[in-house]
Amino acid sequence: MIDNDKRRKIEGTLFLVLFCLTIPAANWMIGNVGTVCLRDGPCLVPVAPALMAPSGVLMVGLALVLRDLVQRRLGPGLAIAAILVGAAISAALAPRALVLASAAAFLLSEFADFAVYTPLARRRLVAAVVASSIVGLVVDSIVFLWLAFGSLDFLAGQIVGKSWMVLIAIPFVAYLRRRDERLGLMPA
């Protein structure tokens, strides 16, 4: 049987690795996964009827949830370190024309997520993940679109696409909360 401290560290490390992997996955998806791939542009996926978004938005929504789980398991200090490393990975992997937009959007959205999640997480984990992810995905969408294209034309698709991943992750977060309570596993 794994003790709670070891379980928290193992799960936290897994969430951290997955969080870091969402960044290259998002960059790869933008150029390779979609129902439509624009010439010299992103590949798009439908996120709602008559609403398309670059496919990488799916990974960005997941990254916001994973960052919250990293903080829950490994603590705020490592969550901040993960944000800084994630921003560096984002800058390193983004297409040259999008480096500033990608890194700035990642950094600002993850810190917005952190600011909302931190005060809510101890008492209301699921609400904290939902609220912080919504704030983070809106910030990410606005900052990225404005810096990359000087336009918010695709804002709705960005927000809806990222929200789907948050919504899909919520049952897992609720399961973790119930399991943590049953095992007496307190957040870091």
User: For the segment 7-29, what is each residue's pLDDT rounded down to a tens digit?
Assistant: 999 999 999 999 999 988 888 88
The model carries a pTM of 0.91
Q: Does residue 177 sit within a domain?
A: yes
Contact 43, 53 (CB under 8 A): no
Q: What is the mean pLDDT of residues 178-187?
A: 89
The predicted-structure confidence for 151-178, as pLDDT tens digits, reads as follows: 898 899 999 999 999 999 999 999 999 9
Q: Which residue has the higher pLDDT, 97 or 34?
A: 34
When pLDDT is averaged across residues 49-61 and rounded to a whole number, the result is 91
Assign 3-class secondary structure to 84-120: HHHHHHHHHHCCHHHHHHHHHHHHHHHHHHHHHHHHH
Residue 27: give the domain boundaries: 4-183
In a domain? residue 76:
yes
Q: Three-class SS of residue 47?
A: strand
Determine, yes or no, domain membership for 173: yes
Provide the b/e sequence for 125-159 (b: ≥16 CB within 10 Å). bbebbbebbbbbbbbbbbbbbebbeeeeebbebbb
Number of domains present in the structure of the chain? 1
Asked, for residue 13, whether it belongs to a domain, the answer is yes
Inside any domain, residue 41: yes
In-domain check, residue 176: yes
Residue 72 is assigned to a structural domain of this protein: yes
Residue 188 belongs to some domain of the structure: no
d(CA 53, CA 74): 32
The string of pLDDT tens digits covering residues 110-159 is: 999 999 999 999 889 999 999 999 999 999 999 988 998 888 988 999 99
Give the pLDDT of residue 169.
96
Per-residue pLDDT band for 31 (boundaries 50, 70, 90) equals: confident
CATH number of the domain encompassing residue 61: 1.10.1760.20
